[in-house]
Amino acid sequence: MTAYPFPLIEIKGPPRQRGRQYGAQCKTLIERSIDFYRWAFRSESALNWDVSAEKSREFIAPIKAYDAEILEEMEGVAEGADRELTDILALNVRSELVFLLAAQGKKAKPACTSLAAAPPATTAEATLIAQNWDWWTRTREQCILLKITQPGRPAILQVVEAGLVAKTGMNSAGIGLCTNALVSDKWRVGVPFHVILRGILNAATMGEAIGAVTRAQRASAGNYMIAHRGGMAINIEAAPEDLNLIRPQEGLLTHANHFQIYHPNIQDQKLALWPDSIVRDCRAAALLKDRRGPVDPLFIMNLLKDHFDHPLSICSHPPADIPYEEAEQTNAAVVMNLSRKQFYVAKGPPCENPFVRVPFA
């Protein structure tokens, strides 16, 4: 039996049924996620868990209006895990709860570096999309590989923290998704970041995937890098009310945790605290541009191991002076070949951990 970097959880059926399967199989990991974010909300946003859970109720109506099946799946997760719906909601609005109140000036933290490569930059006309997901080190042990089979919609394979409905992944329609945290002004009650991610992965076409971002009454900011096995890739820098579109240059895209494009109605509130974002983005772009030959999955795997400007490098490691409780690092590295339906993942910094292929028929 193949040993995958994270537990492989498979769920199928209508929304509530698959949600119950998810909650039951991941009950212990969901408990750990709740325990961790109880600490994180208090540490980063001065919110206790009960207040956070109650605050999450405000997002029910926007989620239901956006996609009622996603809400119903969350209800099933709560039932399967023997938790209140508000606990699962709080996990899925954790970006809004952590970043919104922390935006006034908490310490910097690493986040993510994403990239995509499509023809003419790739071998065999392949479309590739990849990222390092950087977050608190302690959350690594709460992550799973979640495979979803859902009637009437594409199947999904993704890496998520237990209890979340979406993160980085791909679907059977050839859509791939990577993402980066952004923080802007004008945050509001609306469709949460992680729910929009699920909307993208639910899409059967590239147009639907882009529409999952553009049609949403977005609660917060976020970066959505979306690619299709047919050779198309696009990057959407989205604030609640406005967005920027970034097209590939010679088949290549990179992004980190700042708005690359100036928009008069968007105030980037985190760049002053995340200057490493500029370094990681520029470094990834330079490595891609200066390559010898076409881009293939192995090249990207090696790029994700890069340590320029260590420890807040593309392959991120905890600074030596940070206690373990607060430490952050690259918790997962993902490389997807959408043209061949290949999904590779490494647990933890990829310089120390091998990439393993996870089958996705």
| pLDDT digit string, tens, across residues 297-350 | 999 999 999 999 999 999 999 988 888 888 999 999 999 999 999 999 999 999
Quickly tell me which residue has 């509001």 as its tokens.
188
Does 154 share its domain with 63?
A: no
What are the residues whose beta carbons fall under 8 Å from the beta carbon of 270, sequence distance 6 or more? Answer: 99, 103, 181, 182, 183, 257, 258, 277
Q: Note the pLDDT of residue 6.
A: 98
Among 34, 67, 102, give the residue marking a domain's end. 102
Dist. CA 306–CA 328, nearest whole Å? 17
What is the chain's mean pLDDT, rounded? 94
Residue 19 half-sphere exposure toward CB, CA atoms < 13 A: 22
Strand blocks (E) in the chain: 8-12, 112-117, 128-136, 143-149, 156-161, 168-171, 175-180, 222-228, 232-238, 243-246, 252-255, 328-337, 342-347, 356-358
- Domain membership of residue 107 (yes or no) is no
Q: Quick one: how many helices (H) and strands (E) in the chain?
A: 11, 14
For residue 73, which of 61, 85, 91, 90 has the smallest C-alpha distance? 85
Dist. CA 191–CA 240, nearest whole Å? 9
Q: List the CATH number of the domain containing 117.
A: 3.60.60.10
Quickly tell me which residue has 């997807």 as its tokens.
336
Does 248 share its domain with 300?
A: yes
Q: Starting from the edge strand earliest in sequence, which strands make up the sheet with 243-246, in order?
A: 8-12, 143-149, 156-161, 168-171, 175-180, 222-228, 232-238, 243-246
What 3-state DSSP class applies to 180? Answer: strand
Among 82, 102, 122, give the residue marking a domain's end. 102
Query: pLDDT band for position 105 (50/70/90)?
Result: very low
Dist. CA 155–CA 126, nearest whole Å? 21
| pLDDT digit string, tens, across residues 82-91 | 999 999 999 9
Which residues constitute the domain of residue 162? 112-358
Dist. CA 354–CA 335, nearest whole Å? 12
H/E element, 75:
helix 68-81
Does 243 share its domain with 280?
A: yes
| pLDDT digit string, tens, across residues 65-98 | 999 999 999 999 999 999 999 999 999 999 888 7
pTM for the model: 0.96
- CA dihedral (128, 133, 134, 135) in degrees, to 10, reads 170
Among 56, 79, 102, give the residue marking a domain's end. 102
